[in-house]
Amino acid sequence: MKKLLLTLALLLTSMQFATAIDFDTVWVNTLRSPLRECNFAAFSPDTNKIVAALDSTIYYLDIRTGAIIDSFQKAPEIIGYGAVMSANGKRIAGVSGNFKCYVWDTTSKSIIKTFGGYNVQAATVALSPDGRYAVVGICESSGTFQFQRDTNKLLIYDLDADSIVKWIDHLTEGIAYIAYSPDGGSFVVSATYGFTKDQRGIGRLRKYTTNGWQVDTLLEDNSDDYYTYLSYSSDGRYLAGAKTYAGSNEKGSYIWDMTSDTLVGTYLTTRLGGYAYDIINFSSNDQFILFGSGDPFLDGKPHNQIWNFNNDTSIFSFASWSYQSFRYSNSSNYILIANPYSIYLFSPNWQPSSVFEPIEKSDDISIAQENKTLIVKSKDFDLRKIEIFDVMGSLVLSKTADSEEIAVSMQGMQSGIYFVKLQTAKRVFVRKVIVFD
């Protein structure tokens, strides 16, 4: 084991990675009752724990076993996408499905502030590194569509003093995402401000300084798309963002050098194997970029990538649902992935064994094995298609169907773990199966 760890440390130091790094789950925590939907997961500042927003509660999980260590006060609603934690771990904030923003204090383990309410909706939130300030995208609404609301504003709020610092008027612009710089000196806002005639979003990217809370730079204006995700490198030099709006010819990921406020990296879908990544993250040592997507089975290929930012090459591709959280910790060499039903912790240079859990569990679907024949039954839906993938996301078998039951021969398949994707008339299910000799 010591030899393995030493070898791994040398590999990480020298950056001499093979082109086929294997990852395995150190543990997998399946989030069923009483823990249900996970919409945020991150490493604690000391990287010894996992912090996760599960439904309406914040949990600390043991990084070695996934066991619950502690939990915070519940919110009235489920915390949706876009939850964040301050760099020092002092505060956690997230927007609910009812467009209210809740802020937790991790010392008191309680909700200390709620933004949004009657005719006011919170769309997104960012926290300063020290946890003192919350920047919240606020929409004053008369009930119409978000991008056509009457007034969109940025609310700068001092959580320590419990007072408003400033309102910034964005007129009719909808605020899509906010990212705070690691040094706390600025934050960047991605905004949409209408539609073109072909219904594509129009985007702006602004950097605000926290010294006076004024616009410092207009990084991008009048784009055919807008950024749905923004991520800073740990040293604050680079900012990464993803454009994924359907139909945009700018779909892809972009990297800005914030020391000069210039675009330095463009990763269009054609460069990334035809994929549009929802999430892009820098590793904690800023040497890797992690591209993540919500659909690992597109075209039967691994749909997530680890990219070497130094030499601009793809290192590794793998398949997993990663829309909610996609993190890398250089101190522990772990990759953390969270999807609605599971949290995964990956460690480099292990053989993959257990990667997926179902995206939707239902008693309506049953799978049985009889002498290397897979028997799939559906109670309420006609089966339309069945696909079988190996652990690396490669398509092994595909078969169409038009009934409530189908038998699929797995003769010739090697022993191991496979993932069965079942497509019905209305829904898609995924099941993990183990093939034995």
- Which tokens sit at 292? 């993540």
Omega cis (within 30) before 129: no
Chain segment 97-144, per-residue pLDDT in tens: 888 999 999 999 999 999 987 778 888 999 999 999 999 998 876 544
**C-alpha span between 221 and 379 (Å, rounded):** 52
Strand ranges for 181-303 from DSSP E: 186-195, 201-209, 214-223, 227-232, 238-243, 252-257, 262-268, 279-282, 288-292
Instruction: Report the candidate in 285, 177, 184 with the shortest Cα–Cα distance to residue 231.
Output: 177
Helix or strand or coil: residue 3?
A: helix
Contact 265, 254 (CB under 8 A): yes
**C-alpha span between 275 and 279 (Å, rounded):** 12
This prediction has a pTM of 0.73
Instruction: Report the candidate in 70, 74, 56 with the shortest Cα–Cα distance to residue 110.
Output: 74
CA distances from 27 to 47, 68, 323, 363, 372 (A): 16, 13, 19, 25, 28
What pLDDT sits at residue 278?
A: 75
Contact 61, 68 (CB under 8 A): yes
DSSP 157-206: EETTTTEEEEEEE-TTPEEEEEEE-TTSSEEEEEEEEEE-TT--EEEEEE
Instruction: Report the candidate in 272, 274, 324, 300 with the shortest Cα–Cα distance to residue 390.
Output: 300
**C-alpha span between 197 and 202 (Å, rounded):** 11
Which structural domains are found in the chain, ordered by start? Answer: 20-348 (2.130.10.10), 365-435 (2.60.40.3080)
Contact 104, 85 (CB under 8 A): no
What pLDDT sits at residue 296?
A: 52
What pLDDT sits at residue 109?
A: 94
Per-residue pLDDT 10s for the chain (437 aa) are: 333 233 323 222 222 222 233 344 444 444 443 445 777 888 898 888 889 888 888 989 887 767 788 999 999 988 876 789 999 999 999 998 888 999 999 999 999 999 987 778 888 999 999 999 999 998 876 544 444 445 788 999 999 999 999 998 876 677 889 999 999 999 999 988 765 445 556 788 999 999 999 999 999 988 888 888 899 998 999 999 988 775 567 778 899 999 999 999 888 877 776 666 778 888 877 888 888 775 555 455 556 778 888 888 887 776 666 666 788 887 777 778 777 666 777 765 433 333 333 344 455 677 777 777 888 887 766 788 888 876 556 678 888 877 778 888 888 887 666 777 777 766 667 676 777 65
Instruction: Report the candidate in 234, 228, 226 with the shortest Cα–Cα distance to residue 286.
Output: 234
- Which tokens sit at 273? 């194997």
